[in-house]
Structure 1
Amino acid sequence: MGAGAGCALQNRVLPETEDVFDDGFWEGLDLVVNALDNVNARLYVDSRCVYFGKPLLESGTLGPKCNTQAVVPLLTENYGASRDPPERQAPMCTLHSFPHNIHHCLTYAR
């Protein structure tokens, strides 16, 4: 892609799609901007950016939490270098979609 060009992809990014997101794909990027919906995908993209030395603008939500982080190779900490403590309650997305056990109901009632 030329300067200023961008492309929004909707394929899942995970080890099983490395035939789509191969070395040539990652090497052709100047910057990665993501808004992923799960931690495993974020960690995977982060690991690829670290491997290929690509800057990453990481953003996303997880229940009531949100995250934004600029990752610059050899200058800042990468996304996978730190973790949030484990959740003590059901994620809000579970509560809104389908609360299916007593803990979800108690959290929802609060």
Structure 2
Amino acid sequence: MKIERTSLGPDIVLVSLDGRLDMAGAALVEPDFKVACGAARLLLVDLSRTPFMASIGIRLLLAGAKGLHKKGGEMRLFACDPQVEKVLRSTGVDQLVTIHATRDEALAVAGVGSGPN
């Protein structure tokens, strides 16, 4: 599992996750994910290269989203693998974190331009 963080503007951070978000993957990315959550008001999470998500991955996302909400921020997920999206919706993650089809959609709904690709 790999994580990339990109600043898209003041308080806007894009996180791209690449690999399986299982126990081992979550342990690898958790420190950087927490830093990204701490630096953002709006955290966009690209899940296009995440083909599998275990409960520990869901916990990681929810913990980050709750931390963002406490400081008036938000997390938006986008480009989910269909199976990952099914898991996120069936576990109710979409009740706390909005799921979008594309990055541009996630940015537009948040009232932000598309930024660098």
TM-score normalised by the chain length of structure 1: 0.39
- Select the structure of larger CA radius of gyration: 1
Higher RCO structure (Cα 8 Å, ≥6 apart): 2
More strand by share: 2
More helix by share: 2
TM-score normalised by the chain length of structure 2: 0.38
